[in-house]
């Protein structure tokens, strides 16, 4: 097999997502396995890390044995060896980075949200299209084992007509006020001026999840809240929370399915996973978690009778079957990277998770905020 090296600029990867999901569990894991075998070739990523802080870059490169890093992004972008520009830096900076890389003819792959506004997202998507570069954005949830299992059930007609979906997402993010409970997420997430906010963060995900699983979103009703007004940052300094930390939303789809999603950083978990979606259909229901999926078909549905005067005679967790693992599920980010690398070398290998598609996530986040302000349902225009 011929080895094809693919030079990839990895920008802003000293952060949480960049390091863990993209560098270590995707790119380095692909190199470790000897590349991606594709049509007689082995596609082997060759990364260079870029960012602002040389010490952090050196430390990261040394820790994981990455040979190349640089703080001089312009020179790296000017180097034709690198075909791909990947960005996992902060949301407010992404569009400018993408624009610069597109102008240099790089193929683009990046984290979500792809820009701070829908208008800006469409502008960047259009720039990439006009430049004729391949492009895509992370839609990792589509490769979670729980969601793969759901899609198989749906394809087999398990649900009959799907009626509704109730998504519960979130967990308790420590505020930092208690000494031994430092916050486990970066503080910018709670400041809107730095690109933070639950809606901006999670409604991008809910858009492609709902579009792909339950039909295209055609309207939204949303209420946001900032339940915790002050948190403590990475340096132990209290700061005011200017972004929403919770969102209570309903989405309707063109398959006539009502999807209700609660997203919150202020909830303690007593459910099967940090994200669960209960999907109820005429013939069966499922609880879809990150890795697992449980089903209850019509024939095994118990007959509850309302009587709060006695303990329930039914254990409602009984009567659900766990879908078995029927294949090996690789890291979701890595699977999407592998798809992108194949698309890079082969126009016929489709990659529908484009910047234009990702712009729809930003659109939904924006319209969710409009819905909150108006206190009303808002239509989501078709592209």
Ligand X SMILES: NC(=O)c1ccc[n+]([C@@H]2O[C@H](COP(=O)([O-])OP(=O)(O)OC[C@H]3O[C@@H](n4cnc5c(N)ncnc54)[C@H](O)[C@@H]3O)[C@@H](O)[C@H]2O)c1
| Residue selected from 6, 10, 14, 24 as contacting ligand X according to rule CB under 6 A | 14
The pairing of beta strand 275-281 with beta strand 284-288? antiparallel
| Residue selected from 18, 35, 47, 170 as contacting ligand X according to rule CB under 6 A | 18
Among 127, 119, 120, 122, residue whose Cα is nearest residue 101: 127
Q: Please give the helix or strand (H or E) that residue 190 lies within, else none.
A: none
The pattern of x and - marking residues 63 through 102 that bind ligand X according to CB under 6 A reads -------------------------xxxx-x---------
Q: Tell me if 52 contacts ligand X by CB under 6 A.
A: yes
CB of 213 to ligand X, least distance (A): 17
Of 10-18, 62-70, 158-166, 342-350, the segment contacting ligand X by CB under 6 A is 10-18
Residue 365 CA to its chain's centroid (Å): 13
Q: Tell me if 12 contacts ligand X by CB under 6 A.
A: yes
Which of 11/263 has CB closer to ligand X? Answer: 11
CB of 92 to ligand X, least distance (A): 8
* Distance separating alpha carbons of residues 209 and 368, to the nearest angstrom: 16
Handedness of CA 264, 270, 273, 279 (dihedral sign): negative
Q: Which residues of 181-209 are buried (b: 16+ CB within 10 A; e: fewer)?
A: eebeeebbbbbeebbbbbbbbbbbbbbbb
Q: Tell me if 15 contacts ligand X by CB under 6 A.
A: yes
* Distance separating alpha carbons of residues 191 and 34, to the nearest angstrom: 41
Q: Tell me if 17 contacts ligand X by CB under 6 A.
A: yes
Of 106-114, 219-227, 347-355, 369-377, the segment contacting ligand X by CB under 6 A is 106-114
Of 9-17, 129-137, 314-322, 370-378, the segment contacting ligand X by CB under 6 A is 9-17
| Residue selected from 51, 146, 284, 289 as contacting ligand X according to rule CB under 6 A | 51
CB of 88 to ligand X, least distance (A): 5
Which of 42/56 has CB closer to ligand X? Answer: 56
* Distance separating alpha carbons of residues 207 and 210, to the nearest angstrom: 5
Which of 11/264 has CB closer to ligand X? Answer: 11
* Distance separating alpha carbons of residues 230 and 232, to the nearest angstrom: 7
CB of 254 to ligand X, least distance (A): 25
Which of 138/355 has CB closer to ligand X? Answer: 138
* DSSP class of 141: G
Structure token pair of residue 243: 């972004």
Which of 231/252 has CB closer to ligand X? Answer: 231
Decide if 225 contacts 246 (C-beta within 8 A): yes
Site for ligand X in 161-200 (CB under 6 A): 186, 188
CB of 330 to ligand X, least distance (A): 16
CA angle centred on 208, ends 206 and 209, rounded to 5°: 60
Site for ligand X in 128-157 (CB under 6 A): 138, 140
Q: DSSP per residue over 202-262, as a string?
A: HHHHHHHHHHHHH--EEEEEEEEE----EEE-TTS-EEE--S-SEEEEEEEETT--EEEEE
* Distance separating alpha carbons of residues 118 and 116, to the nearest angstrom: 7
CB of 188 to ligand X, least distance (A): 6
Of 60-68, 110-118, 277-285, 334-342, the segment contacting ligand X by CB under 6 A is 110-118
Q: Which residues bind ligand X (CB under 6 A)?
A: 11-12, 14-18, 51-52, 88-91, 93, 111-113, 138, 140, 186, 188, 201
């Amino acid at each position: 097999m011929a080895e094809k090296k693919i030079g990839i600029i990895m920008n802003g990867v000293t952060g949480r997502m960049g390091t863990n999901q993209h560098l270590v569990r995707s790119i380095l894991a692909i190199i470790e396995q000897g590349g991606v075998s594709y049509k007689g070739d082995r596609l082997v990523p060759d990364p260079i890390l870029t960012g602002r802080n040389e010490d952090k870059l050196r430390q990261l490169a040394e820790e994981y044995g990455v040979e190349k890093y640089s703080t001089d992004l312009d020179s790296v972008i000017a180097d034709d060896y690198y075909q791909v520009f990947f960005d996992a830096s902060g949301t407010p900076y992404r569009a400018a980075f993408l624009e610069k890389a597109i102008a240099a003819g790089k193929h683009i792959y990046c984290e979500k949200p792809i820009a701070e506004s829908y208008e800006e997202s469409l502008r960047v998507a259009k720039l990439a299209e006009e430049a004729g570069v391949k492009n895509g954005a992370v839609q990792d949830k589509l490769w979670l084992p729980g969601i793969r299992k759901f899609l198989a059930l749906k394809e087999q007609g398990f649900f009959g007509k799907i009626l509704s979906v109730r998504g519960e997402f979130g967990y308790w993010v420590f505020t930092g006020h208690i000494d031994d409970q430092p916050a486990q997420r970066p503080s910018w997430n709670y400041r809107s001026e730095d690109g933070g906010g639950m809606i901006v963060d999670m409604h991008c995900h809910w858009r492609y999840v709902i579009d792909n699983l339950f039909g295209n979103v055609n309207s939204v009703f949303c209420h946001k809240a900032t339940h915790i007004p002050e948190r403590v940052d990475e340096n132990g300094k209290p700061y005011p929370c200017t972004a929403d930390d919770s969102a209570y939303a309903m989405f309707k789809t063109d398959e006539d399915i009502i999807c209700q999603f609660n997203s919150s950083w202020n909830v303690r978990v007593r459910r099967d996973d940090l994200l669960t979606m209960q999907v109820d259909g005429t013939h069966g229901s499922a609880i879809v978690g990150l890795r697992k999926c449980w089903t209850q078909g019509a024939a095994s549905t118990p007959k509850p009778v309302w009587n709060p005067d006695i303990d329930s005679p039914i254990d409602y967790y009984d009567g659900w079957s766990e879908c078995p693992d029927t294949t090996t599920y690789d890291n979701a980010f890595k699977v999407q990277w592998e798809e992108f690398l194949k698309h890079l070398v082969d126009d016929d290998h489709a990659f529908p998770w484009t910047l234009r598609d990702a712009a729809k996530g930003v659109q939904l986040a924006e319209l969710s905020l409009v819905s909150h302000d108006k206190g009303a349902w808002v239509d989501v225009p078709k592209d």
